[in-house]
Amino acid sequence: MKQSDDEQHLQLLSIFHYVIAGFAALFACFPIIHVVIGIGLFIMGITQSQQTEAFPMVLVGLIFAVVGGTIILVGWVFAACIALAGRFLSQRKHRMFCLVMAGIECTSVPFGTILGVFTIIVLSRPSVKELFTPKALAIPQVA
């Protein structure tokens, strides 16, 4: 493959990583409804503290809010890591991080799987590996 083809493939992969990161961040916001319901149950349970049924409502509300918030946080971190991998691909840095993120992206069916597989294929090429080696540390080839 020509080097210009490799650079074009890396640029396309970088753009697609940004797109998938945006979708991942958007889908990570879906549990906001759980957080809102959890906070509502928690507040209702506190305001009805005289009743004996208030404690389960407080506990369920707290569980809803914490679990929903945790899922949102994990999703946003995942999206940030995908965006970071896209940035590293465009800068030709941290090849191993990009490979690991491509493997993790394969769990996101269907678009993450497609992007992850193509990223692994492109990053496995010897010509692409050379693009990721720092120029000052490049080992001279003995003919």
| Prediction pTM value | 0.86
Residue 84 and residue 102: Cα distance in Å, rounded?
Answer: 12
What is the per-residue burial (b if ≥16 Cβ within 10 Å, else e) of 67-96? ebbebbeebeebbebbbbbbbbbbebebbe
Judge whether 65 lies within some domain: yes
Q: Is residue 135 part of a domain?
A: no
**61 with 39: CB under 8 angstroms?**
yes
Does residue 98 fall inside a structural domain?
Answer: yes
- Give the DSSP per-residue string, 96-135: HHHHHHHHHHTTSTTHHHHHHHHHHHHHTSHHHHHHHS-S
Task: Note whether residue 75 is domain-resident.
Answer: yes
Q: Is residue 45 part of a domain?
A: yes
Residue 136 in this model has a pLDDT that exceeds 90: no
Query: Tens digits of per-residue pLDDT, 12-43?
Result: 999 999 999 999 999 999 999 999 999 999 99
Structural domain count of the chain: 1
- Checking if the pLDDT of 50 tops 90, the result is no
How many other C-beta atoms can be found within 10 angstroms of the C-beta atom of residue 41? 20
Q: Is residue 63, in this structure, part of any structural domain at all?
A: yes
Name every residue whose Cβ is closer than 8 Å to that of residue 120 and which is 6 or more positions away in sequence.
99, 102, 103
| Domain membership of residue 83 as a residue range | 3-125
Residue 3 has pLDDT above 90, yes or no: no
Q: Of 125, 143, 113, which is closest to residue 1 (Cα–Cα)? A: 125
* 136: in domain: no
Coil, strand or helix at 95? helix
